Amino acid sequence: MASVEQAPAAEQNGTGIPVENPATGQTITTVPTLSADEVKALVARARAAQPAWDAIGFEERGRVLRRAQKWVTDNADRIIETIVSETGKTYEDAQLAEIMYAAAAFGFWAKEAPKFLADEPMKSANPLVKGKRLVVRYAPVGVVGVIGPWNFPLTNSFGDCIPALAAGNAVILKPSEVTPLTSLLMAEGLRACGLPDGVFQVATGDGATGAALIDEVDFIMFTGSTKTGRKVMERAARTLTPVGLELGGKDPMIVLADADLERAANAAAYYSMNNGGQVCISIERVYVEAPVYDQFVAKVTDKVRALRQGRSSGPGSVDVGAVTFPPQLDIIDAHVRDAVDKGARVLTGGRAAAGPGMFYEPTVLVDVDHTMSCMTEETFGPTLPIMKVGDAEEALRLANDSPYGLQASVWTKDTRRGEALARRVEAGAVCVNDAQVNYTALELPMGGWKTSGLGTRHGAAGIRKYTKQQTLLVTRLAGKRDPHMFPYSRRVTGLIGKLTKLLYGRGKRD
């Protein structure tokens, strides 16, 4: 369990936020709601600490990150226990999608940050800069604010802090008020690994705390809904603070008639239900070519019906965990009810589970179409609507009929055809005969098209966004005055005109 040093004071003044275990409904502890003035004080502390953290360089920062990598693996059980307690997810969801990601990310950014942020010598064809040294360098922005989601408190909340720290920034993480304990535990871990005071801090609180953070920092990284993302961007515009946004998705799966149906069905069941369906890149809607539709639906339904759901008591105990965020349970149920009212059929599940905790039964819907919210709006729960299509072109048209464009997948034994189709899908990432695992390849950029986000995480761009580019031009050998300098003369002006024609006047004419 994460230690929450500030909780007693929060309980005394009544400004705290209770943290509940969604699988049991029991309150774990209380964390404080930081005021705007308290956030401002955190940022001031971060600004004071950041220059020294930047000055120690990539090698020393990498040592701290590698110690943190070992700390995560050494304390995996404790971290998993904390994640499971505040999210209600399964042991395996915490282990695979959170612990393994964080451990890999610490090592990845320690190794790759010096390469991605190294000075870049440049060349130019312009004769005015011949013989001069041209360089692009990357400097940390200063203080980065991260506003994290509740579905992956380690991977998608704290995970964004790792490259920001590797780049030489100080970071303040505002975790979701629903799942703050993992972030507090990671702050404890970083202190144990030698991170200097003030370089990483956690600002617990609600939306007002997040708004105050946006007002003070030099860059804001937000992961969450498109609706809230717009508010974040509007707030950041007041101070011209740059933002990175990973927002909502309604990720389609296209199953062609020649697909390996057993693999596709296993993937559909897993990638729609893992983490209780509360994954930004979850399979949220499926389009299946008519010749294999019935067979595919039967396979998926059998697999989903067999899933075990409940409170995780350790490895292998359950397959699907709880709904983490209380209002999400109502959204899931509303989408299912809307579909049924408009003619859809529930083949398994279709209701909130009885008993303590917040659970929604793993659900398969058929006879669905785009008049239903389950096919057009982000459900973010353990539901899987499956729609029959005539051919690949209809599937593609429907897949692209969405304001979202985060992730998608195409399933076919003809991988050349699958890749060609994938290139036509309007999404930031598309897998062929797979799903979600692209997120584990930290070399690949991960970001959304359309209303699914702005910018990317991972890859070179995933750390460069936390920097400012600076251009350097160094003149080593030169005369007292260049030809183009004052005073102007008819002769020199004429020579410059002739030079312009010589260099650029030979373009191909139509």
Q: What is the DSSP string of 273-293?
A: HGGGG--TT---EEEEEHHHH
In the three-class reduction of DSSP (H, G, I as helix; E, B as strand; rest coil), residue 434 is classed as coil
Given a cut of 50, is residue 6 above it in pLDDT? Answer: no
- Helix, strand or coil for residue 129? helix
Confidence band for 285, pLDDT divided at 50, 70 and 90: very high
pLDDT at 355: 84
Q: Average pLDDT for residues 220-225, to the nearest whole number?
A: 97
Return the closest-CA partner of residue 144 out of 212, 224, 220, 204: 220
Q: Burial-class residue 497 by CB neighbours within 10 Å (0-12, 13-18, 19+).
A: exposed
Mean pLDDT of the chain: 95
Taking alpha carbons only, the member of 246, 50, 251 closest to residue 167 is: 50
Give the pairing of strands 345-348 and 363-366: antiparallel
Q: Are 172 and 48 contacting, i.e. CB atoms less than 8 angstroms apart?
A: no
Q: What is the pTM of this model?
A: 0.94
Q: Which residues are catalytic?
A: 246, 280
- d(CA 192, CA 408) in angstroms, rounded, equals 40
- Cα–Cα separations (whole angstroms), residue 285 to 7, 95, 151, 349: 41, 26, 19, 16
Which of 217 and 8 is assigned the larger pLDDT? 217
How far apart, in whole angstroms, are the C-alpha atoms of residue 317 and residue 400?
Answer: 38
SS (H, E, C) 208-230: HHHHHHHHHCCEEEEECCHHHHH
pLDDT tens for each residue of 99-134: 999 999 999 999 999 999 999 999 999 999 999 999
Separation in Å, CA 76 to CA 62, 154, 181, 194, 477? 21, 12, 15, 19, 58
| pLDDT 10s digits, 292-333 | 999 999 999 999 999 999 999 999 999 999 999 999 999 999
The model's pLDDT over 319-375, given as tens digits with 9 standing for 90+, comes to: 999 999 999 999 999 999 999 999 999 999 999 998 899 999 999 999 999 999 999
pLDDT of residue 507 exceeding 90: no
pLDDT at 155 over 90: yes
Which domains are delineated in the chain?
7-247+458-468 (3.40.605.10), 252-441 (3.40.309.10)
Instruction: Give the tokens for residue 167.
Output: 């780049």
| Rg, Å, the chain Cα set | 26
